[in-house]
Amino acid sequence: MSTIEFMRTHISRNRSVLHFIHNPRTTMIDYTRFSAWLGVTAAILFLPLSVPFSAHAQISADRPGFGTGSATVGAGTFQAELGYQFRSIWIPGVGDGFATGANTHEIGQGLLRYGITDAFEVRAGLNSYVLISGSNSGYRDYYSGTSLGAKVRLFQTPTMRLSGLATLDLPTQLPDAPNDRARQDLRLAFDTDLGDRFQLAINGGTSFYYSAGIQNDRGVEWLFIPTLSADLTPTLGAYVGYAGFYSVRDGIDSDESFHSRDWVEGGATYRLTPDTQLDLNVGTRLGTDNLSDLSIGIGVSKRF
């Protein structure tokens, strides 16, 4: 699962996290410390750019970003993908009210992929340890759960490819783990070349959840994620895209029947070695009035 999408799945749908974010005791986020953290992160990530370029095969990682690539790992190939995500949410106070906000740190984002054939892979998500912090609200932490899935290539030509992906997020019953639902994600991933250096990728699909033993606690969400990427050098790539998630909700924790979340994102990848790729991604949410919602992540993909 991609970096920001995992954040979207396990935070935006999460009742306890949303309650924490809107806690009136929480004050404005310390943006000075955040800016310093961002500068250090960027320096660490792009330090390898001083390494001489060398041409080698593209790593078909499913990170960074909301979208999932159409490529499958090769037969007999094992690939591990890890990352860290920071999310900052700030809601200005009304009148004399205090601003509310929270910082979320997601550590791990583990995804293991293995190619059964060149066109079919199985996947296991180890996911993350999540820490939520606010100025006056202390800390909360939990494990976000595991997932199982598979990706199959449906067809391929020299310039385009279409794959199908199915993922099941398993309910987590550990103490303080708010993900008590099973969630199924089904999507199609399409890629096509636009000349020698540019590619267009489109994800479309749906995800839905249900809570065991609670018949009316369920929801459906549709997604549309177009992404434009470019090969800047033999080892450095960049991308920009939109991600839309459109929910129809019905259940005990629903305040509305329809909900839309719209994001814009961008990022870069750097192939450090023939089998190792680093990534950086940044996303911000649109159409939220005075709400500030920013997500920044870094990660690595390793092929064995």
Q: What is the pTM of this model?
A: 0.75
Structure tokens at 163: 């794959």
Rg over CA atoms, the chain: 19
Say whether domain 3-303 belongs to CATH 2.40.160.40.
yes
Query: Which tops the pLDDT comparison, 49 or 107?
Result: 107
Locate tokens 């494990």: which residue? 143
Question: Per the omega criterion (within 30 degrees of 0), is the bond before 64 cis?
Answer: yes
What is the pLDDT at residue 134? 72
What is the pLDDT at residue 212? 55
Read off the pLDDT of residues 195-221 as tens digits, 9 standing for 90 and up: 999 999 999 999 887 655 555 556 788
| Exposed e or buried b per residue across 243-272, where buried means at least 16 C-beta atoms within 10 angstroms of its C-beta | bebebbbeeeeeeeeebebebebbbbbbbb
Q: Which of 8, 37, 178, 20 is nearest to 101 (CA)?
A: 20
What is the pLDDT at residue 59? 82
Which residues are within 8 A (CB) of 297 and not within 5 positions of it... i.e. 6 or more apart? 3, 4, 7, 64, 83, 84, 85, 86, 109, 279, 280, 281
Query: Where exactly are the structural domains of the chain?
Result: 3-303
Number of Cβ atoms within 10 Å of the Cβ of 205: 18
